[in-house]
Amino acid sequence: MQTFRLSIALLAVSVAGFAQTTQAVKDPELTRYFDRVSRAMLDAQSIAASGDSTQFRGALKAVNEAWEPVYSRYRAWATSDTNWQTDFDAIQTFLINATNAITPGDNLPNASAQLDAAAAKLSDLRERNGVPDLIGTAEDMGASIKSLQDTVKSLQGKRYTNSDYELLKADFDDALTSWKKLTQAVIDTNVLGLSSGQLDSLQRVITLQNVAFETLDNVLKNPDTLTLLNNLQDIQDRLASLMSELTPSMIAAGMTETDATESATPTDAKSNSRRLFPRRHRLLAR
């Protein structure tokens, strides 16, 4: 059986590495404001997909209510990002267009397209400035692990091909990237304003998860599907446990009103979270 190896440079992960970000934007309040907008947008997008214009109006109103304080407080914020104000104005325009399309025109497809454009612009803005999204990255990681699990289950008893490996590697890369963003948001940026004791407690969980990723690397080098599935389940369970521990703080910060554990592993996480936080293009289509 052919053995495939992942790049050592890719997998040389550590807690210090997880704390890195592309820009020095470390404002917990800004992150929480962005999170509220992102969650409201995702809810509105889901309703738009159902075709319910009446509910969409209410959901879009919630998006505008979440966005208004962000726009007024942070549009003129001092930042090295030369496109910051341009993107803020673009999001504002997209949301105005969406509102005008649905009220009184009742043009749901047009309103939905404008909302999608606003969500994509916000996603680009966040990614470019390293402003993390806690729940979104947890969903992203959960979806990646779930996809890994599905792929591995389909390969049980079979010989790995190059195409199989590319699929596994792409999902592993995505899960690892999401994990870096998640730990950076919780520990380095401290978007929840946790105490030093809480941070120390979470650091122990994060250390265990780092070890789990290293173990997963070793299993991928030797395609033992049963062991791989067990390791993936351990990572998924630890992610759910971490989000459960963070839920009270997220609710207090106004970032979510529901159990974040569910957000980490929903059945439709891959389709929903991609709309706000799209992954890079797959090398191979599933």
Same-domain check for residues 121 and 139: no
Question: Using CA atoms, how far apart are residues 55 and 103, in angstroms rounded to an integer?
Answer: 12
Do the domain assignments include residue 3? Answer: no
Do the domain assignments include residue 77? Answer: yes
Question: Using CA atoms, how far apart are residues 247 and 159, in angstroms rounded to an integer?
Answer: 41
Same-domain check for residues 100 and 220: no
Same-domain check for residues 158 and 232: yes
Do the domain assignments include residue 285? Answer: no
Which among 129, 145, 178 is the end of a domain?
129
Contact of 276 with 164, CB cutoff 8 Å: no
For the chain, the distance separating the N- and C-terminal CA atoms, rounded to the nearest angstrom, is 23
* Amino acid letter for position 88: F
% pLDDT > 90, the chain: 27
Nearest residue to 177 (alpha-carbon basis) of 279, 24, 264, 250: 279
Positions of the chain with pLDDT lower than 50, given as ranges = 1-24, 263, 265-286
Residue 145: give the domain boundaries: 8-21+132-276
Which among 92, 113, 129 is the end of a domain?
129
Do the domain assignments include residue 155? Answer: yes
CATH classification at residue 91: 1.20.120.660
Which among 77, 98, 129 is the end of a domain?
129
Question: Using CA atoms, how far apart are residues 219 and 194, in angstroms rounded to an integer?
Answer: 35
What HEC string does the chain produce? CCCCCCCHHHHCCCHHHHCCCCCCCCCHHHHHHHHHHHHHHHHHHHHHHHCCHHHHHHHHHHHHHHHHHHHHHHCCCCCCCCCHHHHHHHHHHHHHHHHHHHCCCCCHHHHHHHHHHHHHHHHHHHHHHCCCCHHHHHHHHHHHHHHHHHHHHHHCCCCCCHHHHHHHHHHHHHHHHHHHHHHHHHHHCCCCCCCHHHHHHHHHHHHHHHHHHHHHHHHHHCCCHHHHHHHHHHHHHHHHHHHHHHHHHHHHCCCCCCCHHHHHCCCCHHHHHHHHCCCCCCCCCC
Same-domain check for residues 268 and 163: yes
Tell me what pLDDT residue 19 has.
35
Same-domain check for residues 62 and 143: no
CA angle (279 as vertex; 220, 31 as ends), nearest 5: 115
Tell me what pLDDT residue 222 has.
63
Same-domain check for residues 191 and 71: no
Same-domain check for residues 192 and 215: yes
Q: How far is CA 268 from CA 47, 146, 187, 213, 260, in A?
A: 14, 10, 27, 24, 15
